Structure 1
Amino acid sequence: MPRFSVIVPAYMVQAYLAECLDSVLSQSYPDLELIAVDDYSPDACGTIIDEYAARDARVKPVHLAENQGLGRARNAGAERASGDYLLFLDSDDTLTPDALGAIADRLKETGEPDVLVYDYARTYWDGRTVRNQLAAQLAQEGPAPFRLEDRPGLLRVLMVAWNKAYRREFVTEHGFTFPPGYYEDAPWTFPVLMTAESIATLDRVCVYYRQRRQGSILGTVSRRHFDLFEQYDRVFAYIAERPELAQWRAELFRRMVDHCAVVYTRRDRLPRGSHGEFLRRSRAHYRRYRVPGTRVPLRHALVRFGLHRTFRALRLASAVRRRALKSAGELARALRSGVLRLHYLIQLRLPLHPDRAVFTASWGSCDQGALVEAFHRHAPRIRTAWIARPEQQHAVPPGPRQLRPGTAAYWTALARSRYLIGATGFDRRLRKRPRQLFVRTHPGTPLGHLGLDLQERPAAARNTDFEELLHDVDRWDYVVSGNRHSTLTWERVFPGRYTTLEYGLPRNDVFQRATSAEVARLRESLGVPEGTVAILYAPTYRDHRRTQRPLLDLERILRRLGPRFMVLARAHPGCPGSPGPGARIVDVSGHPSVESLCLASDALLTDYAPLMFDYVNLDRPVVVHTEDWEAYEAARGTYFDLRDFPPGAVARSEDELIDIFTTGHWRGSRSAQLRAAFRERFCPYDDGRAAERVVRHVVLGEPAGVPEIVPLAERKPVPSAASASARARTPLATVPQPSGPLPVTESR
């Protein structure tokens, strides 16, 4: 008898069915049967199901003699199921990798509950993936299993059948079946949750819920949306037969009214001319099932009073109001822009402030934050200010004045400040004055092509205006560089008359000044338990991929490495999403300081991110994942082959990456040798005083090379917490955890 029976009904989904079936059969947990039900589909669904059944004995094909609809097709599959647990999966959706393994583990942890509720994420045709907004209801803290009255918030989670695992004997004992018609999930899901004696949750995305552009059943204009009323009649009839469930009547009433309002207001549901009838029936159900004394939200007034004509009038008035506001807003913006332009021209004719410096905020503050501190310490007469958009406020340290782009104060600062420092270009309308000094801080040491080298790389260049780029370069007076490689690259790809300050990167000064107490405080703030090895995972942006999903399955990796490891996952700022959080995965994408994350971690896992050049200053292990090196190099171009000169161990696949950590190679002597060579080449000046050298040269006019460089051998960066604990106890040993057969890897 298999552990899981996965039931997939199929009708008119031939383009998506194979992906759905593959997502089930490729699970790392193989103890399953896949019951694929052909609901008399007129396309190739039946043929596809038979082809899969011929290749894999776990596939049980079911062909219905006539189309019966989604609910009855699910019933047909459930009747043939023999697994411990039933899972329903719509044929255009997919299971996430290792979902069944995570579900099996959670079922065992929680004592075989009647129902396990897990999470999902919507996937869109344009590549976006958006997790369920009510994921907090699936938190695994607290007693488990439980009953619905202990966690009533579960009723607010999307009421569908496919985000749960059901104990088959529980379903059979209570005779749960799906009714015909649209919205068949309501009279299944509500009774199941109310009746279950034991429920558990799994805070993990296990299903990708496809949002189709067209063709979705519920997104089709049809009178079958009137089935909603009959389905809720079934729900309330179930409660009426069981007095012990009467406590749920008020909550289900609210859910019903919300559901009716959604169907009524959506433009892709009801046929033209049927809205009034739908609202009248909604009003009748409102009166029939309302519980006296129930507090009714204001949004229910539409259904309660049947305000069909009022709603149409309000919608028309709202459209007229939006158009009027849009026109007025455009006029106001044009007037404001003209006034600010005049203000800027006036400011350009006033004297410069020799004691003012303006910094542009960037992701994580980086070099600018260290330079501001150096200005305060070595040139205290200079008053500093930050230019930051509202979403960048968290990246700006407290103290200096903050300026929002587009304001009068912003244009005044650009016109009259002597020092302008930033990693990004200033406003293209800015006019540089004769005595103003521009200091450019680049985003780290370059591995991938930048600047003019992108002219032959359209995927990476995207919409870069190279004339505008060179116009910006012509305004630079100084460029801060961390090493000879950077200096030679910048001067070639950003050709101009500026002076390169090869003094080291100010952002890395903190690595030489931080203390063990600060590291401990940072780890505590991030929730890193004592004795845990924290791996900072920081992938780069891939120009050759339209979507930026991580190549690595972090949950699988952590299962193999064991409980002593956790991951601090930081998405690239150009990525819309972030690695999905898990039990030992902390999403730190929004953390304001990447330097703090480096200090808190014990090792860096990356691919081609420039962060590796900074991280080696800590003299901590780095592991590089180069699975798609050829594609990355072809799309962007690189200045050297990272595989030939890496900062540590190199993994060419996920299995090899696991092997590197389980064998201890990630922190072995060979990795230390590679890291030392990498530091010598790319970190000759990062001794903790780079920002001081820049300020002394640019502001104080002192000669280059003051203060002198501290040799690499004499630098003492703060040790990681794991290395300190290893010295106090025994060397860290990693034991591989069981998760299927270990891959066969080549010896190194």
Structure 2
Amino acid sequence: MPTPLSVIVTGHAPHSRLRACLDSVTAQTPPDLDIVVTVADDDGAARALAAVHEVRDPRVTVVPVAPDAPAATARAAAAHAATGAHLQFLHPATDRLPAGAAAALTARLGALRTAPDVLLFDHHHAHWWDEAVPSGTTDLLAAVPADTTLVGHPGLLGIAPLLGNRLISARLLAGHPELIGTEGHDELYLSYAVLLLARRITACGTIGLIRHKDRPAQRRAAGPEQHFAAFGQYERLHQLALAADAPTALRARLYDRMVGDYLTTLARRDELPPALLTEYFRRAARHTARFRPEGHHRPGGLDGVRHALLGQGAHLGYRLLRIANDKRRALQSGAATRAGQVAAARTRHHYRRSLRRGIDQDLAVFSAYWGRGVHCNPAAIAAELAELAPDIRQVWIVEPDRVPLLPPGTDHVLPGTRRYWDVLARAKYLVNNVNFPNAVVKRPGTVHLQTHHGTPLKRMGVDQREHPAAAQGLNFETLLERVDRWDYSLSANSHSTEMWQRAYPSGYRTLDYGYPRNDIHYRATAADVRAARAKLGIRPGQRALLYAPTHRDHESRWTPRLDLPRLADDLGEDTVLLVRGHYFHERLPGPRHDRVLDVTGYDPVEELALAADALITDYSSIMFDYANLDRPIVLHTDDWETYTATRGVYFDITAEPPGPVTRTQDDLTGILLDGTWCDEAAAKQRHDFRLRFCEYDDGRAAERVVRRVFLGEGEESLPPVLPLERRTPAPTPEEAARR
């Protein structure tokens, strides 16, 4: 006897989406649920993730497919491996199952006297701000008779054509193998085709799918092919309807759905370039005229005018109608925004003029930490760029108070000045580890590189929406508008890749190259280590502990969580504490001590890491960078519960630490005195931590970035990432003293 239900997961997706989809499926409770997952042979990370689920859950079967296999081929391979009487197809980039969905749908099937060819059910939309937006078709599903056909109930075409919101009988697919075995068919065609071919359709109100809604920037990044694919699918659907001798009323419903989809795409005119928009209109007009059933009546009002213009191929008339509507909406909103627009016009008048000038192909603008100077990943990229492409001029955005700290000869601009707006308007390359201001326009042909400035333990981006203490009034829509300008997002490890895709959903491309600022941890010499310690006044043989706590969003000012003078006294004369506050803070508060050095304002922080024998931190991302040095790390997490509640975290760092974890100062002092901080157990924890979080950092990250982003080299020509066991970190202070 076949199992009642097979859930098939097939298609390429970002790993964060794939993980969420697989987790949602394997969390379903029916023990006889059949789960089939297809993965491309060349996607190592996806194969590993699927393999983990296959090992953990005996219900999972992984089906490998060729790297370039079309969606239909992968879908057919999965269907062949499935054992269920009914199949649910999920695409991991867009779909998840809500809790209890499989059990509820299986129970619904079991309650039916005769198994349907298709069981339709409800779904929710998932936006970045809400994961349970109703589908809008609940009432339509409720009105469907218990046992019907598409001819008997043409209104079923009004249900969103998603593969995931219908269970399709294996019997129906076996009788029509061309449905999922013919190349070029996509979700739209298959979703409607099974309804056209089904002899028995049942509907229910069960929420059996969560469909992720892409943002406009993500749809643009997917390319125009997704829009143009609809023409072939609708053409085949009309052919199928004619072959099935569908009545006029049903063909009219299909026609209305088609024209509605075409007009929706034309309304999203920012998703297609002007040349392709014209071609899209031409093809849509041809279908609108060709497939119009005899006696069909267009809708009334403005929608009817759009239908008529499209059917007549009147592109000019359609554009004039759109312009008129745009002007009407602008007049309605103009009064409320006129004052703000006048002020903004004064500020950006020069910028707008600069935007009309040509792009300077040899100009790169860099910024780090909101204009704090030459720091972090942008600084490392700029240094490598000067070596590999010296003809590209570099300009740094720097706040006035940071100018005296710039390296000699650094070309820079001050925010808000005329030259500032000039370089932002004309630069080919814009590189930042945060975001450029809202007013910056992403010009076609320019390249925006987001480098980030750490591996995310704490919640970032839109994931902060449930933590108001962290978000502090952040406008998430405006944030995402800034994110939409990114062409590239840099990542140091698979965890970061997943979290950035989740926290900043948009259409950028991820560069899994490592963090350039960490290159120094593999390139520094013994002389560099000795020099770093000498600048700080650390004596040979003295143990230097770098204490670098993170910022607490729920605290108004920095209050050290350790009694630092007492800690220095307890550790003895041979230990010096280097105390590095978060860059939000200027200096260390509290009493002074000879062996407690305030290095909050010391730059670059990478020199502090080279000078330190070990790191003490709490939740700061510095731990992920420092781990590249393979030196001891101790976590002091006295307020873990408070921090997680107010800031939110992606995982429990105390359960997967890079070294010993303490909760009190006495515990911390104890492990620093008894050797626990650097014993074999600590080394094992650090090794496992490095495997996960130092994945792409090998000393050549900046080179990969420059060659790919600035020189346009292909992925195949970039230096491959060295495995961890083949990397040699910079010498420890003890090793450096012997050389």
TM-score, normalising length from structure 1? 0.51
Q: In 2 relative to 1, CA 379–474 (structure 1 residues): closer, same or farther, beyond 3 Å?
A: same
Q: Does 1:713 align with 2:713?
A: no
Name the structure 2 match of 1:349: 356
Q: Provide the C-alpha distance between the structure 2 equivalents of 1:632 and 1:451, rounded to a whole number of angstroms.
A: 17
1:313-347 C-alpha deviation (Å, 9 max, x unpaired): xxxxxxxxxxxxxxxxxxxxx99986652221111
Query: How many Å apart are 1:514 and its aligned residue?
Result: 0.6
Q: Does 1:484 align with 2:491?
A: no
SS in 1 for 2:348: helix
Q: Does 1:500 align with 2:516?
A: no
Name the structure 2 match of 1:400: 410
Q: Does 1:664 align with 2:664?
A: no
Q: In 2 relative to 1, CA 425–342 (structure 1 residues): closer, same or farther, beyond 3 Å?
A: same
Name the structure 2 match of 1:684: 695
SS in 1 for 2:546: strand
Q: In 2 relative to 1, CA 455–435 (structure 1 residues): closer, same or farther, beyond 3 Å?
A: same
Equivalent position amino acid for 2:671 in 1? I
Query: How many Å apart are 1:629 and its aligned residue?
Result: 0.4
1:578-628 C-alpha deviation (Å, 9 max, x unpaired): 244311011111112111111111111100000000000011111100111
Q: Provide the C-alpha distance between the structure 1 equivalents of 2:732 and 2:625, rounded to a whole number of angstroms.
A: 15
Q: Provide the C-alpha distance between the structure 1 equivalents of 2:500 and 2:511, rounded to a whole number of angstroms.
A: 11
SS in 2 for 1:545: coil
Q: Does 1:458 align with 2:468?
A: yes
1:167-196 C-alpha deviation (Å, 9 max, x unpaired): xxxxxxxxxxxxxxxxxxxxxxxxxxxxxx
SS in 2 for 1:489: helix
Name the structure 1 match of 2:658: 647
Equivalent position amino acid for 1:436 in 2? T
Match of 2:647 among 620, 636, 641: 636
Match of 2:485 among 475, 479, 483: 475
Match of 1:409 among 395, 403, 419: 419
Query: How many Å apart are 1:397 and its aligned residue?
Result: 3.7
Gaps of 5+ in 1: 1-333, 729-748
CA contact 2:542–2:574 (8 Å) conserved in 1:
yes
Match of 1:620 among 622, 631, 640: 631
Which structure 2 residues correspond to residues 312-331 of structure 1 after superposition, within 5 A?
A: none
1:220-248 C-alpha deviation (Å, 9 max, x unpaired): xxxxxxxxxxxxxxxxxxxxxxxxxxxxx
Name the structure 2 match of 1:586: 597
Q: Does 1:361 align with 2:368?
A: yes
Equivalent position amino acid for 1:552 in 2? L
CA contact 2:529–2:736 (8 Å) conserved in 1:
no
Name the structure 2 match of 1:424: 434
Query: How many Å apart are 1:522 and its aligned residue?
Result: 1.3
Aligned Cα root-mean-square deviation (Å): 1.9
CA contact 2:397–2:412 (8 Å) conserved in 1:
yes
SS in 1 for 2:442: coil
SS in 1 for 2:547: strand
Paired-residue identity, %: 47
Q: In 2 relative to 1, CA 366–555 (structure 1 residues): closer, same or farther, beyond 3 Å?
A: same
1:398-431 C-alpha deviation (Å, 9 max, x unpaired): 4431111011110100000000000121121111
Q: Provide the C-alpha distance between the structure 1 equivalents of 2:570 and 2:522, rounded to a whole number of angstroms.
A: 34
Q: Does 1:702 align with 2:713?
A: yes
Name the structure 1 match of 2:394: 384
Q: Provide the C-alpha distance between the structure 1 equivalents of 2:354 and 2:458, rounded to a whole number of angstroms.
A: 40
Query: How many Å apart are 1:722 and its aligned residue?
Result: 3.3
Name the structure 1 match of 2:610: 599
Q: Does 1:722 align with 2:739?
A: no
Q: Provide the C-alpha distance between the structure 1 equivalents of 2:601 and 2:471, rounded to a whole number of angstroms.
A: 26
CA contact 1:571–1:579 (8 Å) conserved in 2:
no
Which structure 2 residues correspond to residues 126-525 of structure 1 after superposition, within 5 A?
A: 341-362=348-369, 365-393=375-403, 396-525=406-535
Q: In 2 relative to 1, CA 658–578 (structure 1 residues): closer, same or farther, beyond 3 Å?
A: same
Query: How many Å apart are 1:442 and its aligned residue?
Result: 0.9
1:207-232 C-alpha deviation (Å, 9 max, x unpaired): xxxxxxxxxxxxxxxxxxxxxxxxxx
CA contact 1:624–1:649 (8 Å) conserved in 2:
yes
Q: Provide the C-alpha distance between the structure 2 equivalents of 1:395 and 1:679, rounded to a whole number of angstroms.
A: 33
Match of 1:562 among 545, 559, 572: 572
Name the structure 2 match of 1:551: 561
Name the structure 2 match of 1:129: none
Q: Provide the C-alpha distance between the structure 1 equivalents of 2:389 and 2:698, rounded to a whole number of angstroms.
A: 20
Q: Provide the C-alpha distance between the structure 2 equivalents of 1:442 and 1:432, rounded to a whole number of angstroms.
A: 19
Query: How many Å apart are 1:393 and its aligned residue?
Result: 2.9
Q: Provide the C-alpha distance between the structure 1 equivalents of 2:703 and 2:413, rounded to a whole number of angstroms.
A: 25
TM-score, normalising length from structure 2? 0.52
Q: Does 1:532 align with 2:542?
A: yes
SS in 2 for 1:518: helix
Q: In 2 relative to 1, CA 346–724 (structure 1 residues): closer, same or farther, beyond 3 Å?
A: closer
SS in 2 for 1:613: helix
Q: Provide the C-alpha distance between the structure 2 equivalents of 1:507 and 1:405, rounded to a whole number of angstroms.
A: 24
Q: In 2 relative to 1, CA 432–626 (structure 1 residues): closer, same or farther, beyond 3 Å?
A: same
Equivalent position amino acid for 1:698 in 2? V
Query: How many Å apart are 1:724 and its aligned residue?
Result: 4.9
Query: How many Å apart are 1:391 and its aligned residue?
Result: 2.7
SS in 2 for 1:631: helix
CA contact 2:367–2:433 (8 Å) conserved in 1:
yes
Q: Provide the C-alpha distance between the structure 2 equivalents of 1:678 and 1:569, rounded to a whole number of angstroms.
A: 24
Equivalent position amino acid for 1:574 in 2? F
Q: Provide the C-alpha distance between the structure 1 equivalents of 2:630 and 2:566, rounded to a whole number of angstroms.
A: 27
Query: How many Å apart are 1:576 and its aligned residue?
Result: 5.4
SS in 2 for 1:367: helix
Query: How many Å apart are 1:551 and its aligned residue?
Result: 0.6
Query: How many Å apart are 1:635 and its aligned residue?
Result: 0.5
1:132-169 C-alpha deviation (Å, 9 max, x unpaired): xxxxxxxxxxxxxxxxxxxxxxxxxxxxxxxxxxxxxx
SS in 2 for 1:464: coil
Query: How many Å apart are 1:548 and its aligned residue?
Result: 2.0
Gaps of 5+ in 2: 1-340
Q: Provide the C-alpha distance between the structure 1 equivalents of 2:662 and 2:465, rounded to a whole number of angstroms.
A: 31
Query: How many Å apart are 1:546 and its aligned residue?
Result: 3.0
Q: Provide the C-alpha distance between the structure 2 equivalents of 1:347 and 1:563, rounded to a whole number of angstroms.
A: 60
Q: In 2 relative to 1, CA 579–704 (structure 1 residues): closer, same or farther, beyond 3 Å?
A: farther
Equivalent position amino acid for 1:517 in 2? A
Query: How many Å apart are 1:396 and its aligned residue?
Result: 4.0
Q: In 2 relative to 1, CA 393–361 (structure 1 residues): closer, same or farther, beyond 3 Å?
A: farther
Q: In 2 relative to 1, CA 674–442 (structure 1 residues): closer, same or farther, beyond 3 Å?
A: same
Q: Provide the C-alpha distance between the structure 2 equivalents of 1:494 and 1:633, rounded to a whole number of angstroms.
A: 20
Aligned length: 394
Query: How many Å apart are 1:479 and its aligned residue?
Result: 0.4
Query: How many Å apart are 1:542 and its aligned residue?
Result: 1.1
Equivalent position amino acid for 2:367 in 1? T
Q: Provide the C-alpha distance between the structure 1 equivalents of 2:404 and 2:688, rounded to a whole number of angstroms.
A: 36
SS in 2 for 1:501: strand
Name the structure 2 match of 1:228: none
Q: Provide the C-alpha distance between the structure 2 equivalents of 1:643 and 1:337, rounded to a whole number of angstroms.
A: 48
1:240-296 C-alpha deviation (Å, 9 max, x unpaired): xxxxxxxxxxxxxxxxxxxxxxxxxxxxxxxxxxxxxxxxxxxxxxxxxxxxxxxxx
Q: Provide the C-alpha distance between the structure 2 equivalents of 1:630 and 1:395, rounded to a whole number of angstroms.
A: 39
